Structure 1
Amino acid sequence: MGFPGTWMTESESMVYRVVPKCACSTIGQIMYYSDHGEFFEGDIHDAKGGMHKWALDSSQPKITRNVQKHQAYAFTCVRNPYSRILSSFFDKICGIQRNGKRYRGNLVPLLIQKYGIEVGGEDGKQEFDQIQSFRRFLLFARDTIRWRRPMDPDIHWSAMSGHISTFIVNGGRYDNIFFTEQFNDGMQSVLNSIEMAHPVLLEEIPRFNESEGHGPKRAHPIEDYFDDLSMHLVYEIYKRDFQLFKYDFENPGNKLPLGEVDLDEVHAKLGA
Protein backbone atom coordinates (compact mmCIF):
# COMPACT_ATOMS: atom_id res chain seq x y z
CA MET A 1 0.00 0.00 0.00
CA GLY A 2 2.89 2.38 0.66
CA PHE A 3 2.26 5.97 1.69
CA PRO A 4 -0.68 7.39 -0.28
CA GLY A 5 -1.30 11.10 0.15
CA THR A 6 2.24 11.75 1.35
CA TRP A 7 4.29 14.76 0.17
CA MET A 8 7.95 15.42 0.90
CA THR A 9 10.20 18.39 0.17
CA GLU A 10 12.89 17.74 -2.45
CA SER A 11 15.49 18.47 0.23
CA GLU A 12 13.81 15.76 2.36
CA SER A 13 13.56 18.20 5.26
CA MET A 14 9.90 17.39 6.03
CA VAL A 15 7.26 14.80 5.24
CA TYR A 16 3.55 15.66 5.26
CA ARG A 17 0.56 13.34 5.15
CA VAL A 18 -2.12 15.29 3.27
CA VAL A 19 -5.58 15.37 4.85
CA PRO A 20 -8.07 16.96 2.42
CA LYS A 21 -9.87 20.11 3.62
CA CYS A 22 -7.22 20.75 6.30
CA ALA A 23 -5.11 23.62 4.90
CA CYS A 24 -3.30 21.24 2.53
CA SER A 25 -2.87 23.86 -0.24
CA THR A 26 -1.17 26.30 2.13
CA ILE A 27 1.02 23.61 3.70
CA GLY A 28 2.11 22.34 0.28
CA GLN A 29 3.05 25.84 -0.83
CA ILE A 30 5.04 26.44 2.37
CA MET A 31 6.95 23.20 1.77
CA TYR A 32 7.64 24.22 -1.83
CA TYR A 33 8.76 27.70 -0.77
CA SER A 34 11.10 26.36 1.91
CA ASP A 35 13.09 24.59 -0.82
CA HIS A 36 12.83 27.01 -3.73
CA GLY A 37 12.29 30.49 -2.29
CA GLU A 38 9.13 30.97 -4.37
CA PHE A 39 5.62 29.56 -4.51
CA PHE A 40 4.42 27.09 -7.10
CA GLU A 41 2.53 28.89 -9.86
CA GLY A 42 -1.01 27.52 -9.68
CA ASP A 43 -2.57 24.90 -7.43
CA ILE A 44 0.11 22.93 -5.57
CA HIS A 45 -2.00 19.79 -6.08
CA ASP A 46 -1.16 20.07 -9.79
CA ALA A 47 2.62 20.28 -9.26
CA LYS A 48 4.48 17.43 -10.96
CA GLY A 49 7.92 18.62 -9.87
CA GLY A 50 9.65 20.66 -7.19
CA MET A 51 8.52 18.30 -4.43
CA HIS A 52 8.06 14.58 -3.94
CA LYS A 53 4.55 13.14 -3.96
CA TRP A 54 3.46 9.55 -3.54
CA ALA A 55 1.32 9.94 -6.69
CA LEU A 56 4.54 10.40 -8.72
CA ASP A 57 6.20 7.02 -9.38
CA SER A 58 9.69 8.48 -9.21
CA SER A 59 9.03 9.83 -5.71
CA GLN A 60 7.83 6.59 -4.14
CA PRO A 61 11.21 4.94 -3.36
CA LYS A 62 12.50 8.17 -1.79
CA ILE A 63 9.40 8.69 0.33
CA THR A 64 9.38 5.03 1.41
CA ARG A 65 13.04 5.09 2.44
CA ASN A 66 12.73 8.38 4.29
CA VAL A 67 9.52 7.55 6.14
CA GLN A 68 10.50 4.02 7.18
CA LYS A 69 13.86 5.25 8.52
CA HIS A 70 12.20 8.37 10.00
CA GLN A 71 14.85 10.58 8.46
CA ALA A 72 12.68 13.71 8.15
CA TYR A 73 10.28 15.54 10.43
CA ALA A 74 6.82 14.04 9.76
CA PHE A 75 3.58 15.88 10.42
CA THR A 76 -0.04 16.34 9.45
CA CYS A 77 -2.87 18.77 10.18
CA VAL A 78 -6.46 18.15 11.33
CA ARG A 79 -9.67 20.17 11.44
CA ASN A 80 -12.94 20.21 13.35
CA PRO A 81 -15.17 17.50 11.77
CA TYR A 82 -18.20 19.82 11.75
CA SER A 83 -16.52 22.58 9.76
CA ARG A 84 -14.66 20.10 7.55
CA ILE A 85 -17.78 18.28 6.31
CA LEU A 86 -19.57 21.63 5.87
CA SER A 87 -16.65 22.96 3.83
CA SER A 88 -16.70 19.82 1.68
CA PHE A 89 -20.39 20.39 0.94
CA PHE A 90 -19.98 23.99 -0.19
CA ASP A 91 -16.80 23.35 -2.15
CA LYS A 92 -17.31 19.94 -3.74
CA ILE A 93 -21.09 19.64 -3.97
CA CYS A 94 -22.30 23.23 -4.48
CA GLY A 95 -19.20 24.64 -6.17
CA ILE A 96 -17.88 24.72 -9.71
CA GLN A 97 -14.38 23.24 -9.80
CA ARG A 98 -11.14 24.58 -11.29
CA ASN A 99 -11.91 22.92 -14.63
CA GLY A 100 -15.22 24.80 -14.87
CA LYS A 101 -17.27 21.66 -14.23
CA ARG A 102 -19.05 20.00 -11.36
CA TYR A 103 -17.04 17.78 -9.04
CA ARG A 104 -16.87 14.15 -10.17
CA GLY A 105 -19.15 14.57 -13.17
CA ASN A 106 -22.43 12.84 -12.38
CA LEU A 107 -22.14 13.08 -8.59
CA VAL A 108 -24.27 16.22 -8.17
CA PRO A 109 -27.09 15.05 -10.50
CA LEU A 110 -27.13 11.78 -8.53
CA LEU A 111 -27.48 13.71 -5.25
CA ILE A 112 -30.23 15.90 -6.66
CA GLN A 113 -32.14 12.86 -7.87
CA LYS A 114 -31.63 10.42 -4.98
CA TYR A 115 -31.34 12.74 -1.96
CA GLY A 116 -33.31 15.81 -3.06
CA ILE A 117 -30.35 18.15 -2.64
CA GLU A 118 -30.27 21.65 -4.11
CA VAL A 119 -26.94 23.28 -5.01
CA GLY A 120 -27.79 26.83 -6.05
CA GLY A 121 -28.51 26.24 -9.72
CA GLU A 122 -26.12 25.72 -12.63
CA ASP A 123 -23.54 28.20 -11.35
CA GLY A 124 -24.01 27.59 -7.61
CA LYS A 125 -24.95 31.23 -7.08
CA GLN A 126 -28.73 31.08 -6.70
CA GLU A 127 -30.58 31.11 -3.39
CA PHE A 128 -31.47 27.72 -1.91
CA ASP A 129 -32.16 26.16 1.48
CA GLN A 130 -28.58 25.51 2.54
CA ILE A 131 -29.45 23.86 5.85
CA GLN A 132 -31.93 21.39 4.36
CA SER A 133 -29.61 20.48 1.50
CA PHE A 134 -26.59 20.08 3.73
CA ARG A 135 -28.46 17.73 6.07
CA ARG A 136 -29.49 15.62 3.09
CA PHE A 137 -25.86 15.59 1.90
CA LEU A 138 -24.88 14.35 5.36
CA LEU A 139 -27.13 11.32 4.86
CA PHE A 140 -25.37 10.64 1.57
CA ALA A 141 -21.91 11.02 3.18
CA ARG A 142 -22.93 8.58 5.93
CA ASP A 143 -24.24 6.08 3.34
CA THR A 144 -20.95 6.20 1.39
CA ILE A 145 -18.86 5.70 4.53
CA ARG A 146 -21.05 3.13 6.29
CA TRP A 147 -22.24 1.07 3.34
CA ARG A 148 -20.08 2.30 0.42
CA ARG A 149 -23.20 3.14 -1.54
CA PRO A 150 -24.30 4.68 -3.81
CA MET A 151 -20.50 5.04 -4.19
CA ASP A 152 -17.26 4.70 -2.25
CA PRO A 153 -16.56 7.52 0.22
CA ASP A 154 -14.72 10.52 -1.19
CA ILE A 155 -11.37 11.61 0.27
CA HIS A 156 -12.81 15.04 1.11
CA TRP A 157 -15.35 13.69 3.58
CA SER A 158 -13.89 10.35 4.66
CA ALA A 159 -12.61 10.43 8.24
CA MET A 160 -9.30 12.14 8.99
CA SER A 161 -8.24 9.18 11.13
CA GLY A 162 -8.50 6.96 8.04
CA HIS A 163 -6.13 9.18 6.06
CA ILE A 164 -3.73 9.54 8.96
CA SER A 165 -3.67 5.83 9.80
CA THR A 166 -2.22 4.67 6.45
CA PHE A 167 1.03 6.48 7.26
CA ILE A 168 1.31 4.71 10.63
CA VAL A 169 0.22 1.25 9.51
CA ASN A 170 2.91 1.18 6.83
CA GLY A 171 5.75 2.11 9.14
CA GLY A 172 5.62 5.89 9.54
CA ARG A 173 5.58 7.90 12.75
CA TYR A 174 4.36 11.46 13.20
CA ASP A 175 6.39 14.05 15.06
CA ASN A 176 3.52 16.55 15.07
CA ILE A 177 -0.24 16.69 14.46
CA PHE A 178 -1.55 20.24 14.69
CA PHE A 179 -4.88 22.03 14.21
CA THR A 180 -6.09 24.02 11.21
CA GLU A 181 -7.83 26.32 13.70
CA GLN A 182 -4.46 27.21 15.26
CA PHE A 183 -2.57 27.06 12.00
CA ASN A 184 0.22 29.58 12.56
CA ASP A 185 1.18 28.13 15.94
CA GLY A 186 1.12 24.58 14.61
CA MET A 187 2.97 25.27 11.37
CA GLN A 188 5.55 27.33 13.24
CA SER A 189 6.26 24.39 15.52
CA VAL A 190 7.05 22.34 12.40
CA LEU A 191 9.28 25.02 10.88
CA ASN A 192 11.14 25.45 14.19
CA SER A 193 12.08 21.77 14.04
CA ILE A 194 13.73 21.70 10.61
CA GLU A 195 16.42 23.40 8.58
CA MET A 196 15.25 25.27 5.48
CA ALA A 197 17.08 26.62 2.43
CA HIS A 198 14.66 29.57 2.40
CA PRO A 199 13.23 30.80 5.72
CA VAL A 200 9.43 31.03 5.88
CA LEU A 201 7.79 33.95 7.68
CA LEU A 202 4.32 32.63 8.38
CA GLU A 203 2.72 36.03 8.96
CA GLU A 204 3.67 36.95 5.38
CA ILE A 205 2.42 33.73 3.76
CA PRO A 206 -0.92 34.08 1.94
CA ARG A 207 -3.60 31.49 2.57
CA PHE A 208 -3.80 29.30 -0.52
CA ASN A 209 -7.44 28.35 -0.14
CA GLU A 210 -8.00 26.72 -3.52
CA SER A 211 -11.67 26.07 -2.78
CA GLU A 212 -12.41 29.73 -2.00
CA GLY A 213 -15.01 31.12 -4.37
CA HIS A 214 -15.95 27.76 -5.87
CA GLY A 215 -19.38 27.66 -4.33
CA PRO A 216 -21.99 29.75 -2.52
CA LYS A 217 -21.10 31.55 0.68
CA ARG A 218 -22.22 29.95 3.92
CA ALA A 219 -25.32 31.88 4.97
CA HIS A 220 -25.58 30.75 8.61
CA PRO A 221 -23.35 30.04 11.63
CA ILE A 222 -21.93 26.50 11.64
CA GLU A 223 -24.14 25.37 14.54
CA ASP A 224 -27.33 26.18 12.60
CA TYR A 225 -26.61 23.38 10.11
CA PHE A 226 -26.56 20.66 12.78
CA ASP A 227 -29.71 19.57 14.59
CA ASP A 228 -29.82 16.51 16.87
CA LEU A 229 -30.08 14.07 13.97
CA SER A 230 -27.24 15.74 12.06
CA MET A 231 -25.03 15.65 15.14
CA HIS A 232 -25.81 11.96 15.57
CA LEU A 233 -24.84 11.30 11.95
CA VAL A 234 -21.63 13.29 12.29
CA TYR A 235 -20.69 11.34 15.40
CA GLU A 236 -21.45 8.06 13.64
CA ILE A 237 -19.07 9.02 10.82
CA TYR A 238 -16.36 10.85 12.78
CA LYS A 239 -16.43 9.40 16.31
CA ARG A 240 -12.73 8.49 16.14
CA ASP A 241 -11.79 11.95 14.82
CA PHE A 242 -13.54 13.67 17.72
CA GLN A 243 -11.89 11.40 20.27
CA LEU A 244 -8.33 11.32 18.92
CA PHE A 245 -8.08 14.97 17.91
CA LYS A 246 -9.93 16.35 20.94
CA TYR A 247 -12.70 18.27 19.20
CA ASP A 248 -15.95 19.25 20.91
CA PHE A 249 -18.77 16.99 19.71
CA GLU A 250 -21.34 18.54 22.07
CA ASN A 251 -21.08 22.04 20.57
CA PRO A 252 -20.83 22.40 16.76
CA GLY A 253 -20.30 26.13 17.28
CA ASN A 254 -17.00 25.55 19.10
CA LYS A 255 -14.49 24.91 16.37
CA LEU A 256 -11.47 24.89 18.70
CA PRO A 257 -10.06 21.65 20.11
CA LEU A 258 -10.49 20.92 23.81
CA GLY A 259 -6.90 19.74 24.28
CA GLU A 260 -3.65 18.77 22.58
CA VAL A 261 -3.31 15.67 20.42
CA ASP A 262 -1.73 12.73 22.26
CA LEU A 263 0.67 11.35 19.65
CA ASP A 264 1.23 8.09 21.53
CA GLU A 265 -2.52 7.49 21.66
CA VAL A 266 -2.88 8.25 17.94
CA HIS A 267 -0.09 5.81 17.02
CA ALA A 268 -1.44 3.11 19.32
CA LYS A 269 -5.05 3.35 18.12
CA LEU A 270 -4.44 3.98 14.41
CA GLY A 271 -1.50 1.60 14.05
CA ALA A 272 -3.39 -1.47 15.15
Structure 2
Amino acid sequence: MGFPGTWMTESQSVVYRVVPKCACSTIGQILYYSDHGRFFDGDIHDAQTGLHKWGIEESQPLIADNVNAHRSFAFTCVRNPYTRILSSFFDKICGIQRNGRRYRGNLVPLLVQKYGVEVGGDDGQEDFDQVRAFRRFLLFARDTIRWRRPMDPDIHWSSMSGHIGTFVVNGGRYDRIFWTERFNDGMQDVLDQLQTPVPVDLTRIPRFNESEGHGPKRAHPVEAYFDDLSMHLVYEIYKRDFDLFKYDFENPGNKMPIGEIDLDEVHAKLGD
Protein backbone atom coordinates (compact mmCIF):
# COMPACT_ATOMS: atom_id res chain seq x y z
CA MET A 1 0.00 0.00 0.00
CA GLY A 2 2.92 2.35 0.65
CA PHE A 3 2.38 5.86 2.00
CA PRO A 4 -0.62 7.50 0.32
CA GLY A 5 -1.13 11.18 1.10
CA THR A 6 2.51 11.62 2.08
CA TRP A 7 4.58 14.60 0.88
CA MET A 8 8.31 15.20 1.33
CA THR A 9 10.52 18.15 0.50
CA GLU A 10 12.99 17.62 -2.33
CA SER A 11 15.80 18.25 0.16
CA GLN A 12 14.25 15.50 2.33
CA SER A 13 14.31 17.88 5.28
CA VAL A 14 10.83 16.77 6.40
CA VAL A 15 7.99 14.31 5.71
CA TYR A 16 4.33 15.33 6.02
CA ARG A 17 1.20 13.19 5.96
CA VAL A 18 -1.58 15.28 4.41
CA VAL A 19 -4.96 15.28 6.18
CA PRO A 20 -7.64 17.03 4.09
CA LYS A 21 -9.32 20.08 5.69
CA CYS A 22 -6.47 20.45 8.20
CA ALA A 23 -4.43 23.43 6.92
CA CYS A 24 -2.85 21.22 4.26
CA SER A 25 -2.63 24.01 1.64
CA THR A 26 -0.69 26.28 3.99
CA ILE A 27 1.57 23.47 5.22
CA GLY A 28 2.32 22.36 1.66
CA GLN A 29 3.26 25.88 0.64
CA ILE A 30 5.54 26.23 3.69
CA LEU A 31 7.34 23.02 2.72
CA TYR A 32 7.67 24.21 -0.89
CA TYR A 33 9.00 27.59 0.27
CA SER A 34 11.50 25.95 2.65
CA ASP A 35 13.23 24.37 -0.37
CA HIS A 36 12.80 27.04 -3.05
CA GLY A 37 12.43 30.42 -1.31
CA ARG A 38 9.13 31.07 -3.09
CA PHE A 39 5.60 29.76 -3.03
CA PHE A 40 4.07 27.51 -5.67
CA ASP A 41 2.04 29.61 -8.11
CA GLY A 42 -1.38 28.00 -7.69
CA ASP A 43 -2.94 25.36 -5.48
CA ILE A 44 -0.12 23.32 -3.95
CA HIS A 45 -2.21 20.19 -4.48
CA ASP A 46 -1.71 20.68 -8.23
CA ALA A 47 2.10 20.90 -8.02
CA GLN A 48 3.82 18.09 -9.92
CA THR A 49 7.35 19.37 -9.34
CA GLY A 50 9.21 20.98 -6.46
CA LEU A 51 7.78 18.61 -3.84
CA HIS A 52 7.84 14.85 -3.59
CA LYS A 53 4.34 13.37 -3.36
CA TRP A 54 3.24 9.75 -3.10
CA GLY A 55 0.86 10.42 -6.00
CA ILE A 56 3.88 11.08 -8.27
CA GLU A 57 5.30 7.70 -9.29
CA GLU A 58 8.95 8.81 -9.35
CA SER A 59 8.64 10.11 -5.78
CA GLN A 60 7.38 6.86 -4.30
CA PRO A 61 10.70 4.99 -3.84
CA LEU A 62 12.30 8.11 -2.35
CA ILE A 63 9.47 8.59 0.14
CA ALA A 64 9.29 4.90 1.03
CA ASP A 65 13.05 4.68 1.57
CA ASN A 66 13.06 7.78 3.78
CA VAL A 67 10.02 6.84 5.85
CA ASN A 68 11.06 3.23 6.40
CA ALA A 69 14.46 4.39 7.63
CA HIS A 70 12.88 7.33 9.55
CA ARG A 71 15.57 9.59 8.17
CA SER A 72 13.54 12.80 8.35
CA PHE A 73 11.28 14.46 10.88
CA ALA A 74 7.70 13.31 10.17
CA PHE A 75 4.56 15.17 11.18
CA THR A 76 0.89 15.76 10.50
CA CYS A 77 -1.86 18.15 11.57
CA VAL A 78 -5.40 17.53 12.87
CA ARG A 79 -8.58 19.54 13.39
CA ASN A 80 -11.69 19.43 15.57
CA PRO A 81 -14.06 16.86 13.97
CA TYR A 82 -17.09 19.17 14.34
CA THR A 83 -15.52 22.08 12.45
CA ARG A 84 -13.84 19.76 9.94
CA ILE A 85 -17.08 18.08 8.80
CA LEU A 86 -18.82 21.47 8.69
CA SER A 87 -16.03 22.88 6.54
CA SER A 88 -16.29 19.89 4.20
CA PHE A 89 -20.01 20.50 3.80
CA PHE A 90 -19.75 24.19 2.95
CA ASP A 91 -16.74 23.76 0.67
CA LYS A 92 -17.37 20.48 -1.13
CA ILE A 93 -21.16 20.15 -1.06
CA CYS A 94 -22.44 23.75 -1.19
CA GLY A 95 -19.52 25.31 -3.04
CA ILE A 96 -18.59 25.68 -6.67
CA GLN A 97 -15.06 24.33 -7.18
CA ARG A 98 -12.11 25.95 -8.93
CA ASN A 99 -13.10 24.37 -12.25
CA GLY A 100 -16.48 26.14 -12.10
CA ARG A 101 -18.36 22.92 -11.45
CA ARG A 102 -19.83 21.07 -8.51
CA TYR A 103 -17.55 18.73 -6.58
CA ARG A 104 -17.41 15.20 -8.02
CA GLY A 105 -20.00 15.78 -10.73
CA ASN A 106 -23.06 13.74 -9.75
CA LEU A 107 -22.45 13.86 -5.99
CA VAL A 108 -24.60 16.91 -5.25
CA PRO A 109 -27.56 15.77 -7.43
CA LEU A 110 -27.38 12.44 -5.58
CA LEU A 111 -27.55 14.23 -2.22
CA VAL A 112 -30.46 16.38 -3.35
CA GLN A 113 -32.41 13.39 -4.65
CA LYS A 114 -31.70 10.74 -2.00
CA TYR A 115 -31.18 12.84 1.14
CA GLY A 116 -33.10 16.05 0.41
CA VAL A 117 -30.01 18.20 0.94
CA GLU A 118 -30.34 21.83 -0.18
CA VAL A 119 -27.17 23.48 -1.44
CA GLY A 120 -28.04 27.11 -2.14
CA GLY A 121 -29.08 26.84 -5.76
CA ASP A 122 -26.95 26.41 -8.86
CA ASP A 123 -24.27 28.83 -7.69
CA GLY A 124 -24.38 27.96 -3.98
CA GLN A 125 -25.27 31.55 -3.06
CA GLU A 126 -29.05 31.34 -2.53
CA ASP A 127 -30.49 31.31 0.98
CA PHE A 128 -31.36 27.88 2.36
CA ASP A 129 -31.80 26.17 5.71
CA GLN A 130 -28.15 25.45 6.45
CA VAL A 131 -28.82 23.52 9.66
CA ARG A 132 -31.35 21.15 8.09
CA ALA A 133 -29.23 20.64 4.99
CA PHE A 134 -26.08 19.93 7.01
CA ARG A 135 -27.80 17.40 9.26
CA ARG A 136 -29.05 15.53 6.20
CA PHE A 137 -25.55 15.60 4.73
CA LEU A 138 -24.28 14.14 8.00
CA LEU A 139 -26.54 11.10 7.50
CA PHE A 140 -25.02 10.66 4.05
CA ALA A 141 -21.45 11.00 5.40
CA ARG A 142 -22.23 8.36 8.05
CA ASP A 143 -23.67 6.01 5.42
CA THR A 144 -20.55 6.33 3.25
CA ILE A 145 -18.22 5.66 6.17
CA ARG A 146 -20.16 2.89 7.92
CA TRP A 147 -21.56 1.02 4.92
CA ARG A 148 -19.71 2.52 1.92
CA ARG A 149 -23.04 3.38 0.33
CA PRO A 150 -24.30 5.04 -1.79
CA MET A 151 -20.54 5.56 -2.45
CA ASP A 152 -17.17 5.14 -0.78
CA PRO A 153 -16.32 7.83 1.78
CA ASP A 154 -14.61 10.92 0.42
CA ILE A 155 -11.16 11.91 1.71
CA HIS A 156 -12.55 15.23 2.97
CA TRP A 157 -14.89 13.63 5.51
CA SER A 158 -13.32 10.24 6.16
CA SER A 159 -11.75 10.12 9.62
CA MET A 160 -8.43 11.76 10.39
CA SER A 161 -7.28 8.61 12.20
CA GLY A 162 -7.94 6.68 8.98
CA HIS A 163 -5.67 9.00 7.00
CA ILE A 164 -3.02 9.17 9.70
CA GLY A 165 -3.16 5.43 10.37
CA THR A 166 -2.02 4.39 6.88
CA PHE A 167 1.36 5.98 7.57
CA VAL A 168 1.74 4.01 10.82
CA VAL A 169 0.44 0.67 9.53
CA ASN A 170 2.94 0.70 6.69
CA GLY A 171 5.94 1.39 8.91
CA GLY A 172 6.05 5.15 9.43
CA ARG A 173 6.38 6.93 12.74
CA TYR A 174 5.33 10.49 13.56
CA ASP A 175 7.56 12.85 15.50
CA ARG A 176 4.83 15.46 15.94
CA ILE A 177 1.07 15.81 15.52
CA PHE A 178 -0.30 19.28 16.13
CA TRP A 179 -3.69 21.01 16.02
CA THR A 180 -4.85 23.50 13.39
CA GLU A 181 -6.43 25.42 16.28
CA ARG A 182 -2.89 26.11 17.55
CA PHE A 183 -1.31 26.24 14.14
CA ASN A 184 1.43 28.79 14.76
CA ASP A 185 2.72 27.03 17.86
CA GLY A 186 2.59 23.60 16.25
CA MET A 187 4.13 24.57 12.92
CA GLN A 188 6.85 26.58 14.63
CA ASP A 189 7.68 23.57 16.79
CA VAL A 190 8.08 21.49 13.61
CA LEU A 191 10.24 24.14 11.91
CA ASP A 192 12.47 24.34 14.99
CA GLN A 193 13.36 20.67 14.45
CA LEU A 194 14.38 21.12 10.81
CA GLN A 195 17.37 22.29 8.83
CA THR A 196 15.84 23.63 5.63
CA PRO A 197 17.67 25.08 2.60
CA VAL A 198 15.68 28.30 3.04
CA PRO A 199 14.85 29.64 6.54
CA VAL A 200 11.13 30.06 7.19
CA ASP A 201 9.80 33.03 9.17
CA LEU A 202 6.32 31.81 10.08
CA THR A 203 5.14 35.33 10.94
CA ARG A 204 5.58 36.30 7.28
CA ILE A 205 3.77 33.28 5.79
CA PRO A 206 0.24 33.95 4.48
CA ARG A 207 -2.57 31.45 5.00
CA PHE A 208 -3.44 29.51 1.88
CA ASN A 209 -7.11 28.62 2.26
CA GLU A 210 -7.85 27.20 -1.17
CA SER A 211 -11.46 26.42 -0.28
CA GLU A 212 -12.30 29.93 0.91
CA GLY A 213 -15.12 31.49 -1.07
CA HIS A 214 -16.21 28.25 -2.71
CA GLY A 215 -19.49 28.09 -0.83
CA PRO A 216 -21.89 30.18 1.25
CA LYS A 217 -20.78 31.67 4.54
CA ARG A 218 -21.69 29.74 7.67
CA ALA A 219 -24.73 31.55 9.09
CA HIS A 220 -24.69 30.16 12.64
CA PRO A 221 -22.20 29.22 15.36
CA VAL A 222 -20.83 25.68 15.13
CA GLU A 223 -22.96 24.33 17.97
CA ALA A 224 -26.21 25.34 16.20
CA TYR A 225 -25.65 22.66 13.56
CA PHE A 226 -25.42 19.79 16.04
CA ASP A 227 -28.44 18.55 17.99
CA ASP A 228 -28.36 15.34 20.04
CA LEU A 229 -28.82 13.11 17.00
CA SER A 230 -26.15 14.95 15.01
CA MET A 231 -23.71 14.67 17.91
CA HIS A 232 -24.44 10.95 18.12
CA LEU A 233 -23.71 10.56 14.40
CA VAL A 234 -20.49 12.56 14.67
CA TYR A 235 -19.33 10.42 17.59
CA GLU A 236 -20.23 7.24 15.71
CA ILE A 237 -18.08 8.39 12.78
CA TYR A 238 -15.21 10.12 14.59
CA LYS A 239 -14.95 8.52 18.04
CA ARG A 240 -11.31 7.59 17.51
CA ASP A 241 -10.48 11.12 16.31
CA PHE A 242 -11.97 12.67 19.45
CA ASP A 243 -10.15 10.18 21.68
CA LEU A 244 -6.71 10.20 20.06
CA PHE A 245 -6.45 13.90 19.26
CA LYS A 246 -8.07 15.09 22.50
CA TYR A 247 -11.06 17.07 21.27
CA ASP A 248 -14.20 17.84 23.26
CA PHE A 249 -17.08 15.68 22.05
CA GLU A 250 -19.49 16.99 24.70
CA ASN A 251 -19.36 20.61 23.51
CA PRO A 252 -19.45 21.28 19.73
CA GLY A 253 -18.90 24.97 20.51
CA ASN A 254 -15.44 24.26 21.98
CA LYS A 255 -13.09 23.83 19.05
CA MET A 256 -9.96 23.72 21.22
CA PRO A 257 -8.31 20.48 22.37
CA ILE A 258 -8.78 19.46 25.99
CA GLY A 259 -5.66 17.34 26.47
CA GLU A 260 -2.25 16.55 25.02
CA ILE A 261 -1.77 14.14 22.12
CA ASP A 262 0.08 11.00 23.23
CA LEU A 263 2.18 9.86 20.26
CA ASP A 264 2.77 6.43 21.79
CA GLU A 265 -1.00 5.96 22.12
CA VAL A 266 -1.52 7.09 18.51
CA HIS A 267 1.05 4.62 17.18
CA ALA A 268 -0.23 1.77 19.34
CA LYS A 269 -3.89 2.23 18.40
CA LEU A 270 -3.40 3.06 14.71
CA GLY A 271 -0.68 0.48 14.10
CA ASP A 272 -3.04 -2.52 14.20
TM above 0.5, yes or no, is: yes
Which aligned segments of 4 or more residues in structure 1 are displaced greater than 2 angstroms?
Answer: none
TM (norm. structure 2) is 1.00
1:47-196 equivalences under 5 Å are 47-196=47-196
Shift of 1:203: 1.3
Normalising by the residue count of structure 1, what TM-score does the alignment of the two structures yield? 1.00
In structure 2, distance between residues paired with 1:150 and 1:200 = 44
Q: Helix, strand or coil for the counterpart of 1:164?
A: helix
Q: Could you tell me which amino acid in structure 1 is paired with residue 173 of structure 2?
A: R
| Counterpart amino acid of residue 140 in structure 2 | F
Which residue is 2:207 aligned to?
207
* Aligned match of 2:228: 228
Aligned position for 2:242: 242
The CA distance in 2 between the partners of 1:111 and 1:74, in whole Å, is 37
Give the aligned partner of residue 27 of structure 2. 27
- Following superposition, the deviation at residue 125 of structure 1 comes to 0.4
1:203-259 Cα shifts (integer Å, max 9, x gaps): 111100000000000000000000000000000000000000000000000000001
The answer for unaligned runs of 5 or more in structure 1 is none
Given residue 88 of structure 1, which amino acid in structure 2 is its aligned partner?
A: S
CA distance in 2, matches of 1:95, 1:72: 37
Letter in 1 for 2:243: Q
Give the distance between the partners of 1:197 and 1:188, measured in 2 at CA.
16
Taking only aligned residues, the RMSD between alpha carbons, in angstroms, comes to 0.3
* 2-structure distance, mates of 1:119, 1:205: 33
Question: What is the identity, as a one-letter code, of the residue corresponding to 1:191?
Answer: L
Q: Aligned ranges for residues 250-261 of structure 1 at < 5 Å?
A: 250-261=250-261
SS in 2 for 1:98: coil
Q: Which segment is superposed worse, 67-76 or 193-202?
A: 193-202
Question: How big is the shift at 1:196?
Answer: 1.1
Q: Matches of 1:202 and 1:179 in 2, distance apart? A: 16
Q: Deviation of residue 260 (structure 1)?
A: 1.3
Distance in 1, matches of 2:263 and 2:163, equals 15
User: Does the residue aligned with 2:177 lie in a helix, a strand or coil?
Assistant: strand
Q: Deviations over 1:97-127 (max 9, x none)?
A: 0111000000000000000000000000010
Residue 7 (structure 1) aligned with residue 7 (structure 2)? yes
**Alignment partner of 1:36 is 2:36:** yes
C-alpha distance in 1 between matches for 2:51 and 2:210: 19
Q: For 2:258, what is the secondary structure of its paired residue?
A: coil
Equivalent-residue separation in structure 2 for 1:259 and 1:179 (angstroms): 11
Please give the secondary structure, in 1, of the residue aligned with 2:8. Answer: strand
Give distance in 1, aligned partners of 2:4 and 2:196: 25
AA aligned to 2:62 is K
Aligned residue-pair number = 272
- Opposite residue 116 of structure 1, the aligned amino acid is G
Report the Cα offset of residue 198 of structure 1: 1.1
Cα displacement (A) at 1:33: 0.2
1:117-138 CA-partner distances (Å, limit 9, x unpaired): 0000000001000000000000
Percent identity (aligned): 80
